[in-house]
Amino acid sequence: GKGEFFFSGALYADGYTFREPTPELFNYFSSYGACPNCRGTGRALGLRAERVIPNPRLSLAEGLVALWNEHPAASLYQKHFIDAASELIPPDLPYYRYTTQQKRLLWWGDPLQGIVGIQGSYEQLVRHKETRTYAYTFQGEGTCPVCEGSRLHPDTRWVRIAGRSLPQVMSMSLEEFAHWLEQIDLPEPRRTLAEPLLKELRHRTALLLQVGLGYLTLGRLGETLSGGESQRLQLATVLGGQLTGAIYVLDEPTIGLHARDTRRLLEVVRQLQQMPNTVVVVEHDETFIREADHIIELGPKSGEAGGKVVFSGTFAELQKANTYTAAYFRKKPPAFSSKKFSADHPFIHVHGACLHNLKNICVSFPLRALTVITGVSGSGKTTLALHLLARTLEGWPFLLTSVKRHRGYYQLTGEDTYQEILIPKEGIQRVEVLSQSHLVRNRRSVVATVSGAYDAIREIFSRTAKEQGYDYPAAVFSFNSPAGRCPTCEGEGVIVKSMQFLADVRLPCPSCGGKRFQPFVLEVEVGGKTISDVLGMTVEDALDFFTRLPKMPDSLIKSIRNALTPLMTLGLGYLRLGQSTVELSGGEATRLRLTSYLQPHAAPTLFFIDEPTTGLHFDDVERLVKAFRELVKLHHTLVVVEHNLDFIAQADWVIDLGPEGGDAGGELLYQGPVKDLLSHPTSYTAAALREKYAGRAL
């Protein structure tokens, strides 16, 4: 008979309904394509993988799945799974050596009964009243167990191109993605339809590889990228757009790049310029300066002693100029460290590091030495130094109450990110992490207070006030104390006006005119300067001013000199004493925090420092190395992640990771004195150093 018939776009097979694969299905911003459990965020309250499998070094036979071996009723699931999956997953195989298919089988089953899923053991335990509370102990806010953090609806797993689903593709690094694109071979007519899209994808991916971002995954959140990574991503996007006749300004695009990747980035910038466009780069990198068509140098120094054009011309002309940059290029590269380690020199030993892409490596860090971790971007440097070792030692020495002692070492064991860490019993009293993410900024914290000079300065003003007949304690001269600060701005010197959706506006205080203090405080002068005048001085000027100040106790002058001299050593003489720490760059804030440790009485400290040469001129790098040498002389230990070749060359000990980034990295290529690294056949760091030191006797 006649009538209307509606045929659903869904597919029914094996008792499961597969939804029609429209473009919306592959968009997690769409309600149709977003994971129903986490609504497209990739995060959800549910099973925490690290709680279910706390130690990836274990095998099924050793009790890998904590969910299955900590309750009698749950132990049956382990026995059943081992029996059913023994041919696919050997019971004695450690989890960290599982393939992607084996991990999926363990978690999702299909067709076996895995950990999660409609018939998964977790759901079964939750369903029964007597085991529900036990099962909930494995819950928490974390990666969504349904979409595994992909943010996409589970149905997207069933649609594949060249054997890969979209969630699998999004978990690829850009290097893996580029390789996969070359393997795609579609039948007609799909090939004809897809070829223009594939061509554009290959082109844009090649640009991302050229700017040194091959280690990033496609699903990496933009908010987790560093400033240098974001800038290089934008550069690749612009280059792919083929825009011409534009002016591009790049602010230190080589930040975080290895010397190998810097050359690739330079080629991309050249392509952008030849389109044609005008490219202006603010940069300290040696390669960029050598290859520039025109160089403008500002100076001659920092702060008030800078701001002038001291050179403008070609690189050939620069080499004859009388500037700090020209002097660097005329000098020979710095000499290698000559430090030698005796057989009984104390080392920190890390055994079996396997966090993120680290390949079960064993690494040693000498105490009372400058150790530099090198390798291309994404090779595992930050993972080893900050995410594994520094994070494990957070809270030192309070950890000592809960660690074992083993043959002159403190022994840390049982973590899923490493097998064992051995720390000498003597030589470390504190642990400090100095990186962009660990810097704490405070508007009320200024250079004078952080350096420790302000206490002595306030005491000098208090003594002078008493000589003038005013009984003012030192607290009156503190902008953090109500005793003498301006009540309107509370000692900040500015009033902050909220602009709703725009950035706040900071205006000079109408009461004190930006001087921070009440009028009666400003009546007291030392050497013709008020306390407000002193806070306006640079470190260099203040050091000269107080050193020349007559009739003051030597102890106070010495205290100021001891506090400010390290700032000069670290190249921070241009900072103002009243400059807030929120106004400092990451490099300036890191160096400022180091100043207190350049005092002879400072406790032996283990420092973890992430790329301290960022934003520094060659001359500043040389000063920084000298300061680090002083720290080592004071029995401190430094572990530094760095790409700067001048800095690496002067390390006492080098740990080189690689050979590539991402999954192709994480291997220990070399550890030892830097001079011996040069003969390594596959290390990109060794190749860069050989090029820099070519023709020089080693």
**Does 402 share its domain with 529?**
no
Instruction: Say if residue 478's pLDDT is above 70.
Output: yes
Residue 221 confidence (pLDDT)? 82
Which CATH number belongs to the domain containing residue 62 in this structure? 1.10.8.280
Q: Which residue has the higher pLDDT, 238 or 500?
A: 238
**Does 24 share its domain with 165?**
yes
Please check whether residue 195 lies inside any domain of the structure: no
Helix (H) and strand (E) counts for the chain? 26, 23
| Residues paired with 172 in a beta bridge | none
Residue 467 confidence (pLDDT)? 92
Residue 333 burial (10 A CB sphere; 0-12, 13-18, 19+): middle
**Does 426 share its domain with 453?**
no
User: Which of 1-15, 415-429, 564-578 is predicted least confidently?
Assistant: 1-15
Q: What is the pLDDT of residues 217-241, one digit of tens each?
A: 898 888 777 667 787 888 888 888 8
Residue 698 confidence (pLDDT)? 47
Q: How many domains does the chain have?
A: 3
- Residue finishing a domain among 169, 202, 230: 169
Spatial separation of the C-alpha atoms in residues 549 and 447, rounded to whole Å: 21
Buried b (16+ CB within 10 A) or exposed e, 283-293: bbbbbbbeebe
**Does 123 share its domain with 34?**
yes
Reading the block at residue 695, the tokens are 């023709």
Instruction: Say if residue 79's pLDDT is above 60.
Output: yes
**Does 77 share its domain with 155?**
yes
Instruction: Say if residue 1's pLDDT is above 60.
Output: no
- The number of beta carbons lying within 10 Å of the beta carbon of residue 634 is 17
Which range of residues forms the domain containing residue 515? 447-583
Across residues 54-69, what is the average pLDDT?
82
Residue 339 confidence (pLDDT)? 92
**Does 378 share its domain with 508?**
no
Please check whether residue 137 lies inside any domain of the structure: yes
Instruction: Say if residue 440's pLDDT is above 60.
Output: no
CA dihedral 606, 609, 613, 615 (to 10 degrees): -140
Please check whether residue 543 lies inside any domain of the structure: yes
Please check whether residue 314 lies inside any domain of the structure: no
Residue 342 sits at φ, ψ, to 5 deg, of -75, 170
Task: Kindly report the average pLDDT of the chain as a whole number.
Answer: 87
Q: Which residue has the higher pLDDT, 495 or 599?
A: 495
Instruction: Say if residue 45's pLDDT is above 80.
Output: no
User: Which of 83-97, 268-282, 671-685 is predicted least confidently?
Assistant: 83-97
Instruction: Say if residue 575's pLDDT is above 90.
Output: yes
Spatial separation of the C-alpha atoms in residues 289 and 281, rounded to whole Å: 9
Residue 16 sits at φ, ψ, to 5 deg, of -125, 140
Q: Which residues contact 653 (CB under 8 A, 6 or more apart)?
A: 341, 365, 366, 369, 370, 371, 372, 671, 672, 673, 674
**Does 662 share its domain with 569?**
no
Spatial separation of the C-alpha atoms in residues 238 and 537, rounded to whole Å: 43
- Residue finishing a domain among 169, 199, 233: 169
Which CATH number belongs to the domain containing residue 351 in this structure? 3.40.50.300
Please check whether residue 159 lies inside any domain of the structure: yes
Instruction: Say if residue 310's pLDDT is above 90.
Output: yes
Residue 88 confidence (pLDDT)? 86
- Residue finishing a domain among 583, 603, 631: 583
**Does 645 share its domain with 556?**
no
**Does 88 share its domain with 122?**
yes
**Does 408 share its domain with 458?**
no
CB 425 within 8 A of CB 408: yes
Across residues 251-278, what is the average pLDDT?
90
**Does 548 share its domain with 624?**
no
- Cα–Cα distances in angstroms (integers) from residue 229 to residues 66, 232, 484, 536, in the given order: 38, 5, 46, 36
Residue 582 confidence (pLDDT)? 85
**Does 27 share its domain with 164?**
yes
Q: Which residue has the higher pLDDT, 128 or 428?
A: 428
Reading the block at residue 137, the tokens are 């102990």
Residue 282 confidence (pLDDT)? 95
Which CATH number belongs to the domain containing residue 470 in this structure? 1.20.1580.10
Q: Write the DSSP symbol of residue 389.
A: I
Instruction: Scan for tokens 């759901």, then name that residue.
Output: 123
Across residues 373-400, what is the average pLDDT?
86
CB 291 within 8 A of CB 266: yes
SS3 call for 30: coil
- Cα–Cα distances in angstroms (integers) from residue 58 to residues 55, 93, 381, in the given order: 6, 8, 25
Please check whether residue 142 lies inside any domain of the structure: yes
Instruction: Say if residue 41's pLDDT is above 90.
Output: no
Q: What is the CA radius of gyration of the chain?
A: 30
Residue (of 385, 378, 402, 399) closest to 348 by Cα position:
385
Please check whether residue 668 lies inside any domain of the structure: yes
Across residues 92-117, what is the average pLDDT?
79
Reading the block at residue 352, the tokens are 């079996």
Please check whether residue 632 lies inside any domain of the structure: yes
CB 216 within 8 A of CB 173: yes
Across residues 562-566, what is the average pLDDT?
93
Angle ∠(596,600,605) on CA atoms, nearest 5: 60
Instruction: Say if residue 439's pLDDT is above 60.
Output: no
CB 684 within 8 A of CB 257: no
Q: Write the DSSP symbol of residue 571.
A: T
Q: Write the DSSP symbol of residue 414.
A: -
Instruction: Scan for tokens 């090029």, then name that residue.
Output: 691
Q: Which residue has the higher pLDDT, 242 or 181?
A: 181
Spatial separation of the C-alpha atoms in residues 377 and 398, rounded to whole Å: 34
